[in-house]
Amino acid sequence: MKNEIILITGASGCVGQYIANWLIENSTSELFLWVRDPKKITSINLENPRIKILVGDLRESNKFKKEISEVNRVIHTATAWGDPKRAKEVNIDAVKNLLNLLNPSNIKQIIYFSTASVLDRNLNLLPEAFTYGTEYIQTKAQCLRELESHQLATKIIAVFPTLVFGGRLDGKSKFPTSYLTEGLRDALRWIWLARWIKLSSRFHFIHAADIAFICGHLANSDFEPVQPFSATKIKKLVLGQPYTSIDVVIQTLLIWKGMRRVPQIPILPWLIELITILLPIQMTNWDRFSLRQKHFIHEPVTSPETFGGISHAKTLSQVLHNSGLTKH
């Protein structure tokens, strides 16, 4: 029987490389890796006969019309932010063009990457994502809403990563380092000040290796996520570990740094907003909305344990250990 063909967009990014590597090691699928610069792929051997590189911008989908028509599954991780025009072209227009080039008789599954920021606690689209969101948030919310009416909607599994860690800071990983992992050094640098602050905000995180495990299992099976209380055609999975809090983060970083905890001063949201008014701090409407929302939690969340696996990094301590960050 012929091996399935999986198309991965954004395959040179942190999450894309973790997924591609997992599939090379744990499946027999052929991979079409869509990238702008193949030199950025550091985690896999591009001479592997199961790999075909598609070099081009996501907005150039007609360039790969033949290849796209052959694929059986798509894992769409590519995204854009910063420039409103490019964000719309990549996050909305290019996605729909890609789906329109798929052969309905060949395609079995589309794993579409969005962001947990566009969802409320019960995995419904936040109205505020459309009104207050940055160009990234707005285009991700708009694309998800438009995909609901697409002819392939029932074959789409939308995944919503929470805060993503990945790679290492000591140069010992073959994977790129995520923005969040890059920020760990700065977090430790300022922990002496943060230890005086008490914040009750809660959130989820996940490691890119665990995202790869989840996507790999989705792409290696006909798994159908259970969608209780949902009338949408598109299935939704928020990828994350059980929620933690900023207080727990501060305590974990203090232990890692070898520093003692001190009496903490509660910082209320109204005080933060007042500080941003008094000081020359630029904030978007989305920043202000996020401050008021305070908690960023979802129910349910999906981790490798959902599929009977073991998470690569289930706790923040494991994240720090896997990041190669020096412990004091």
- Per residue in 182-200, pLDDT (tens digit) is 999 998 888 888 888 877 7
- Containing 106, the helix (H) or strand (E) segment is none
Give the residue, 281 or 34, on which the prediction is more confident.
Answer: 34
Q: Name the band, by pLDDT with cuts 50, 70 and 90, for residue 222.
A: low
> How many CB atoms are located within 10 Å of the residue 242 CB?
11
Q: Name the band, by pLDDT with cuts 50, 70 and 90, for residue 225.
A: low
Measured CA to CA, the distance from residue 309 to residue 300 in angstroms comes to: 17
Query: Which residues, in sequence order, are bridge partners of residue 315?
Result: none
Mean pLDDT lowest among 239-248, 287-296, 297-306, 318-327: 287-296
Please say if the pLDDT value at position 228 is more than 70. Answer: no
Structure token pair of residue 113: 């990457």
- Cβ atoms 178, 165 nearer than 8 A: yes
Please say if the pLDDT value at position 229 is more than 50. Answer: no
- Residues 89-145: tens digit of each pLDDT: 999 999 999 999 999 999 999 999 999 999 999 999 999 999 999 999 999 999 999
Q: Domains of the chain (ranges plus CATH)?
A: 5-164+205-239 (3.40.50.720)
CA 21 → CA 80, 154, 225, distances in Å?
23, 27, 24
DSSP notation for 229-271? T---SSEEEEE-PSPEEHHHHHHHHHHHHT------EE--HHH
Q: Report pLDDT for 260.
A: 85
Mean pLDDT lowest among 196-200, 208-212, 214-218, 227-231: 227-231
Q: What is the pTM of this model?
A: 0.93
Give the residue, 295 or 110, on which the prediction is more confident.
Answer: 110
- Residues 47-97: tens digit of each pLDDT: 999 999 999 999 999 999 999 999 999 999 999 988 999 999 999 999 999
> How many CB atoms are located within 10 Å of the residue 35 CB?
25
CA angle centred on 216, ends 232 and 171, rounded to 5°:
120
CA angle centred on 147, ends 145 and 206, rounded to 5°:
80
